[in-house]
Structure formats: structure tokens, C-alpha cells
A = this chain, B = another copy of it.
Amino acid sequence: MIIVLKPQSTKQMVDNFVDSLQKNYDVKVNEWVGTQSTVLGLIGDTSAIDIDYISAQDIVESVKRVQEPYKKANRKFHPDDTVITLPGGQKIGDGSLSLIAGPCSVESERQIVEIAKSVKDSGAQFLRGGAFKPRTSPYAFQGLKAEGLELLREARKVTGLPIVTEIMRVSHIPLFEDVDIIQVGARNMQNFELLKELGRLDKPILLKRGLSSTIEELLMSAEYIMAGGNEKVILCERGIRTYETYTRNTLDISAVPILKKLSHLPVIVDPSHASGISWLVEPLALAAVAAGADGLIIEVHNDPQHALSDGAQSLTPEQFDQVAKHVNAAAKAFGRKVG
């Protein structure tokens, strides 16, 4: 940590500040005096130091971290890729391309089972589907809730596909006991109470990036889960909020190689939510594969025109079949492991 002091600081003030730093933290402080300002360099484990605390000091002009504030999610301390393995043997992050597909919302047994069979035939290894739905309007369809989870289990029984579904509330955790991968949505990425509780589980968590969260904040939210003991975190880039209005969000494709460099966790991309437009799903999915994503999560609906939510970005099963063919061909061309 580097601390730039204000130009007008006296030697006495600097000495007192240095003393207090060395007394309160397990660090050594190096000091050098410039023509305009004095700068301090803190050596040791600075991750316990609150950067806001330092900034608040009268004597401090600005502060710069040298170490990243996350540890368990940091590739520096864990150079090998994390591979998430499910009880059924499916893997995410092992060099293959994982395809997660299914409807935005579970609507009926027939709907979810039919879609599950179809996406499996097209090569998806995981089934997604929302039972509890975060909706901007209190008057919009909020999902089938517990019944939706039941229908997902039914679809899993029929197809063998592990299920991925979103949680919105700590008290629902028992309902998600036999869900294979629990999803945390963008709006809950900094619902720290939820993250803490999920950190106590032994189950993969698919953590979506918040609408305007930085890459570092996403990694800090992963750190919340991992700090509790659950290191099975899958990161998901799903578009960020910008001034551009043509798309619902702006896919931050750079986040894929950056997250892979900074962290050992698997990184997947959601081209459906990133754009909000079904015809953009294929080019964005291909771009994600090209940029090194470990997987894709794609919305598929057997009848997008009557979907109860997010129809505009859903593919039909036939469209998904084409997209799956193309992304798998691309993955192969990029030398990715293909089942």
C-alpha cells in the first residue's frame, strides 16, 4: 500500500502517523521525501487495512493498493484453474465448453420437460430455469416458486441434466437443497447476507456480475462466498449498464480474459441477458468462446412469443440447436476439449 501525504505535512505529523501505522498493523513503513510531498510505502500484509480509514486521515492526500484485496479468489495464491465437478461427473472449467440452457422461467411441467429434452439433444449439459424471479415490477409474474423447483427436479429426472436456478432469499436455502448449481442474480451480487449463507454450503454457486459492478467487486463478492468455506464459485459476465440504449446491457467481453487472468475460478457468459435480443445471442456466444469463456448460459423457450418473461431474448429450440452446433464448432477450432 502506498500513501501519498499532503504537501503541508510537518515532520512531526509524519512521524506520528508512521508510528501509529506500525503500532496498529503488522507492517513496516518506508518513507521518502519528495519536493512536493512525502510518500509512505507499507510492507507486509495490508489486506486487513481499511483503505477508507487511511483516506480519512487529515495528513493523507491519496492511497493506492499494490496488493489485490481478494485472496481466495486470487490466481496469485492459487495458480491452477479451479474445476467444478458435479456428483454426476459434469465439469465446468476443465477446458471444455459448458452449455447451460433453458427457459427464463419455469412455466409448466410440459414446458420445462420438453425444453430440457430438446436442449439436451442439442448438446447442453445443464438445464437452467427460474422458479423465483426477480422482476422490476411488483405486478409482473414472479415465478412458480417452490412448484417451479419441483418441476425442475422432474425435468432432471427425465433427462439427467443437472439444474441451475436462482435464489433470492436466505430463508429459501432449504428449498434449494438438491438443486445442483445455485445462481445468484445480478441484482443480488452485493446481497452480502445471502452470499455469507451460501458460503456455508458445499454446492456450486453461479455468481452473476452486478449491473454496474466492477470486475474487482465481482471478485470481492466471490471472496464473500469463499471466505465462508465454499470455494465452488462460477463467475458469470452478463452485460453491464452503459449509456448505449440499443442493447439492454453492454456485454463486457474483456471481462472474460481479465477474470481468467486475475482469478482461478471458471468464467461463463450469458449472451441472452447481455443483449436482450435473440438475434444477438449467436454472435455474442461465439465472441465469448473466442475470448476464452468456460461456458455459456443461454435462454431457450419452446414458445418465446408466449414466454411469461424475457421472451425477446429467448431462442427457440431450433435456433438453439444451430447456436450449439456453431459454438461447439468454434470451441473445437480454438482447440478446446470437446466431450
A69 contacts the other chain (CB 8 A): yes
Most chain B CB within 10 A, of A56, A134, A190, is at A56
Alpha-carbon separation in the docked complex, A190 to B333 (Å): 40
Closest chain B residue, CB of each to CB of A256: B283
Flag whether A157 is at the interface (Cβ < 8 A): no
**A258 CA / B276 CA spacing, docked (Å):** 13
Interface positions, chain A 50-106, Cβ under 8 Å from B, are: 50, 52-53, 55-58, 61-62, 64, 66-67, 69
Provide the bound-state CA to CA distance between A223 and B139, in Å: 9
Q: Which residues of B contact A9 (CB under 8 A)?
A: none
Per the CB 8 Å criterion, the residue count for chain A at the interface is 103
Complex CA–CA separation, A63 to B275 (angstroms): 17
CA of A326 to CA of B212 in the docked complex: distance in angstroms? 32
Whether the pair A193, B168 counts as a contact (CB closer than 8 A) is: yes
**Do A168 and B192 form a contact, CB below 8 Å, given A2-B64, A243-B241, A287-B291?**
yes
Contacting residues, chain B, for A284 (C-beta < 8 A): 253-254, 257, 291
Contact A55-B311, Cβ < 8 Å, known A50-B140, A67-B36: yes
Q: Is the CB of A280 within 8 A of B251?
A: no
Among A121-129, A302-310, A317-325, the one that faces the other chain is A302-310
The quantity of this chain's copies bound in the complex is 4
Q: Out of B134, B196, B304, name the residue touching A192 (CB < 8 Å).
A: B134
Which of A33, A170, A290, A330 has its CB near the most chain B CB atoms (within 10 A)?
Answer: A290
Across the interface, do B246 and A243 meet the contact criterion of CB distance under 8 Å?
no
Expressed in whole angstroms, the Cα–Cα distance for A286 and B257 within the complex equals 12
Cβ of A289 within 8 Å of any chain B Cβ, yes or no, is yes
- A224, B138: Cβ atoms under 8 Å? yes
Report how far A290 CA is from B281 CA in the complex, Å: 12
Q: Is A245 an interface residue (CB 8 A)?
A: yes
A283 touches B292 (CB 8 A): yes
Indicate if the CB atoms of A212 and B211 lie closer than 8 Å.
Answer: yes
Which of A61, A193, A287 is most buried by chain B, counting CB atoms within 10 A of its CB? A287
A175 CB within 8 Å of chain B: no
Cβ of A252 within 8 Å of any chain B Cβ, yes or no, is yes
Pair B39/A309 contact, Cβ less than 8 Å: no
Report the bound CA distance from A43 to B171 in whole Å: 41
In the complex, chain B residues whose CB is within 8 Å of the CB of A338: none
- CB neighbours (8 Å) of A154 from chain B are none
Contact B217 A136 (CB under 8 A): yes
- Complexed CA–CA distance, A37 and B42 (Å): 11
Taking CB atoms, residues of chain B closer than 8 Å to A159 are none
CB of A155 within 8 A of chain B? no
Find out whether the CB atom of B244 lies under 8 angstroms from the CB atom of A215: yes
| Docked complex Cα distance between A216 and B330 (Å) | 30
Q: Can you show 27 pairs from A to B with CB atoms below 8 A apart?
A: A2-B2, A32-B41, A34-B43, A52-B312, A56-B307, A57-B311, A64-B64, A137-B220, A171-B171, A187-B191, A212-B243, A214-B244, A214-B246, A240-B244, A241-B243, A243-B243, A244-B252, A251-B252, A253-B253, A253-B287, A254-B274, A257-B284, A261-B279, A286-B291, A286-B334, A330-B334, A333-B334
